[in-house]
Each structure stands twice: as C-alpha cells, then as structure tokens.
Chains A and B, each alone.
Chain A
Amino acid sequence: MSHHLFLLSPSDTPIYSLTHYSTKLPQPTSSSLSSNLPTWSTSAFAGTLTALSGASSATQSHHVQGGSVRMGGGQDRHVIQMIANASLDIIEDVMRKESAMYLKSVDKFNEWTVSAFITPGSTHEIILLHETKNDDGIRSFFHDVWELYLKTMLNPFHTAHSPIRSTVFDTRVRASAKKYL
C-alpha cells in the first residue's frame, strides 16, 4: 500500500515529492481494470488502460498482465503525477468554498484518493495520493509535514520556489509517514 506525497510551490510546481510504502495492513484492492477488457481491444487503448490500472498498489502491479513491458515504476510515476495535477483544479474550487487548511479527499481516481492540505494564504499545497481511508492519520501527517516545511522556509537560502533537497527534511518526512500512514 503506497502513498504519494507532493509539495507544491506557489507556481504549482512540485518542490518535493515522496513515495512511501506503508507497512500497515493493506486493504484488499479492487481488481485491475485490464482484466475487464475484452481480449480484442486495440493494444494502444489496452496499453493506456493497463498503465492507468497499473497505478494501483505496488503489490498489485505484479499481477497485472497485458503484456505491457512498460509496467513498473516509470509508468506509474507519470500517472501519479497526472492524477495529482488533475486534482489541482478541484482543489482550487474547494479552496474558495472552504476556509479550513485540511481539505479531506478532494478527488477520487480508480482506487486512489487525493487529499489536500492548503497553507494559510493559499501559498502552498500538500497533496497526498492514497488508497485507504485514514483521515486522522493523514491530517496529523499533513500537519507534521507542514511544520517541517515551515522550518525549511526559515532557511534564508530557500526561496518559495526552490526544490527541497535537504536530507534532514527527507528523513523526517519519511519518519512521520511511517508514524501516521
């Protein structure tokens, strides 16, 4: 069961991303889409669908057939990022209505849920793609990541758009992910 985290700058470019494989009990995932495809479907379509369904949990991806050699981390990555980007629009809409920082799940895609966290002043967004429902854990995780990011921002050499490369930050985010997710 994996989670994908993205930190976005004011210009909506990702300044930090993380993939975390949770060791907590994975929920039974729904069957992949490609198995529902009739065998005669065109390879291009099947390929796309396989790729999309391949965005399911890492454990699942081993089982997906379809002859897609591209299955694996690289393909998943693109899809994940596509999902994350797509959710940005929805986040903007929700942002206008709600004033809370933690927006619960804003979007759903296959079995992926997108949760978002917006900082006061709408400067930064933290987006998390996850499969299972875990509101409290995710809320605490968002707060943790937010606090870690605040400390990073206090670094005079860090601008709002610079990507975060600090290993300390990375370690701490991972530890927090392990704790809450």
Chain B
Amino acid sequence: MATTSKQYKAIGEDLWKSRTDKINSELFALTYGALVVQLIQDYEDYAEVNKQLEKMGYNIGTRLIEDFLARSSLGRCSDFREVGEVAAKVGFKSFLNITPTVTHSGAPPPSSRSTSAAQQSGVPGSSFILTLDENPLAEFVELPDEALEGGLWFSNVLCGVLRGALEMVQMQVQVEFLSDVLRGDESTEIRVTLLKYLEEEVPVGDD
C-alpha cells in the first residue's frame, strides 16, 4: 500500500516545521482582508470579486505547486483519492498550518458518499470535499450584510490555488465553496471535482 494517511500527516508536519520563513498570522489575515475589501470597492459586484479572487488564486497555485513538489519530493498520486489526501494533509498543512478533513466521493450517482475504493480511482466526476475547521485568511472577519446577500466567498482565493496547482500536474478540476462559516453556515467546505486528466502538451517546436 502506498503512503498512508498517517505518513502524509507526518510529512506535512515536517514540511511546516522545516520552513524558516513564517509570517505573523494577523498580518497575513489583515493583508488578505484589505485585498478583498479593495476588490469589492473596485468591482462593486460580488460575483466579479469571487471570480477575481479565483483568478488570483490560480496564478498563485501554478507557482505554488513547484515549490510544493520540490520540498515534499512526493511522487505522482496514484488516484484522485490520494490527491485529496495529499492536498489536505501535506499541502494545506505545509502552507497554512491547517489540516482540513477530507471526504471522498465517487463518480455519479452523487448520493453515495461511501469510500469504497472501486469507484474512486480517477474517474472524471469523482470529487472530494475539504472541510476547514479554521481559516487563517478569515480571522476577525465579519461579513457585512451586502456581502452576504451578494454571495461573496471570502476565501475564494483558495479555490483558485487548488485549481492552478492541480492543473500543473495534469488534472483539470472544478473547485468551489459549498459553505462558509463567515456566511453563517455550520462549516467551511470546498469541493474539488475532477473534470478530466490533461494530456501532456508537447512544446511548440519539438518534433
């Protein structure tokens, strides 16, 4: 059996500890908060702000994955299920020092949430849900009523990061928020759905 979940946890923990350049979480949260507020003032449309946050996250993700692979020296994930495990236990842990819980879900029918391995391997349509019990981006934040009505996903940058990072490892995914404690929901959940595997692109000019 490949690397177990416990080992992933240990790897994530090690990576976090070995990072010497950490930043004050308040400063980080304030910076991100200022960014979101500025975007809201500029665009004045919450759907557009969500889109921009996702785009920004995408740019971050495409670069972040290189750093991640270099430091963790983990190999290719055998199936989409493992992608979820690695993302939660190693990825989130090493960058944000949080470990969201992962709930896997096979391809349709979507009603079944069982973790039977047979269905999951890499069938487009399979997905996993990350449940964040704490969100360092949203410390001290309380959404005003207009933002709640407008449908703002405050931490939407995370969705972009996941999408960008996974695209660099040949997976096209759809990432979206399902719920957010800032909005008054019970928990903060992000769903990552596999759309398809991307073929290796041959660089232009090669034969």
Chain A contact residues, CB within 8 Å of chain B? 151, 154-158, 166, 168
Interface size on B (CB < 8 Å)?
14
Which residues of chain A have C-beta atoms less than 8 A from B30's C-beta? 154, 156
**Closest residue to B146 on the A side, CB-wise?**
A157
Sample of 17 further A-B pairs with CB below 8 A, known A154-B140, A158-B142: A151-B140, A154-B26, A154-B29, A154-B30, A154-B139, A155-B33, A155-B141, A156-B30, A156-B33, A156-B36, A156-B37, A157-B33, A157-B37, A157-B141, A157-B143, A166-B142, A168-B142
Q: Which of B132-164 contact A (CB under 8 A)?
A: 139-144, 147
Which residues of chain A have C-beta atoms less than 8 A from B29's C-beta? 154
The 9 A-B residue pairs with the shortest CB-CB distance in the complex, in nearest-first order: A156-B33, A154-B140, A156-B37, A157-B144, A155-B142, A155-B140, A155-B141, A156-B34, A166-B142
**Closest residue to A167 on the B side, CB-wise?**
B142
Shortest CB–CB separation between residue B84 and chain A, in angstroms?
A: 31
User: What are 13 contact pairs spanning A and B, CB under 8 A?
Assistant: A154-B26, A154-B29, A154-B30, A154-B140, A155-B140, A155-B141, A156-B30, A156-B34, A156-B37, A156-B141, A157-B37, A157-B142, A158-B142
Which residues of chain A have C-beta atoms less than 8 A from B37's C-beta? 156-157
Which residues of chain B have C-beta atoms less than 8 A from A155's C-beta? 33, 140-142
Q: Which of B111-142 contact A (CB under 8 A)?
A: 139-142
Query: Complex: how many Å from CA A166 to CA B147?
Result: 15
Which residues of chain A have C-beta atoms less than 8 A from B34's C-beta? 156
**Closest residue to B33 on the A side, CB-wise?**
A156
Shortest CB–CB separation between residue A157 and chain B, in angstroms?
A: 5
**Closest residue to B32 on the A side, CB-wise?**
A156
Which residues of chain B have C-beta atoms less than 8 A from A168's C-beta? 142
Which residues of chain A have C-beta atoms less than 8 A from B33's C-beta? 155-157
Query: Complex: how many Å from CA A158 to CA B139?
Result: 13
Q: Which of B12-58 contact A (CB under 8 A)?
A: 26, 29-30, 33-34, 36-37
Shortest CB–CB separation between residue B145 and chain A, in angstroms?
A: 9
**Closest residue to B35 on the A side, CB-wise?**
A156
Which residues of chain B have C-beta atoms less than 8 A from A151's C-beta? 140
Query: Complex: how many Å from CA A155 to CA B30?
Result: 8
Query: Complex: how many Å from CA A157 to CA B35?
Result: 11
Shortest CB–CB separation between residue B180 and chain A, in angstroms?
A: 15
Query: Complex: how many Å from CA A166 to CA B26?
Result: 20
Query: Complex: how many Å from CA A165 to CA B33?
Result: 19
Which residues of chain B have C-beta atoms less than 8 A from A158's C-beta? 142
Shortest CB–CB separation between residue B102 and chain A, in angstroms?
A: 29
Shortest CB–CB separation between residue A30 and chain B, in angstroms?
A: 43
Query: Complex: how many Å from CA A151 to CA B30?
Result: 12
Which residues of chain A have C-beta atoms less than 8 A from B142's C-beta? 155, 157-158, 166, 168
Query: Complex: how many Å from CA A154 to CA B27?
Result: 10
Shortest CB–CB separation between residue B62 and chain A, in angstroms?
A: 26
Q: For B26, B34, B142, B144, which residue has the most chain A Cβ atoms within 10 angstroms?
A: B142
Q: For B29, B139, B140, which residue has the most chain A Cβ atoms within 10 angstroms?
A: B140
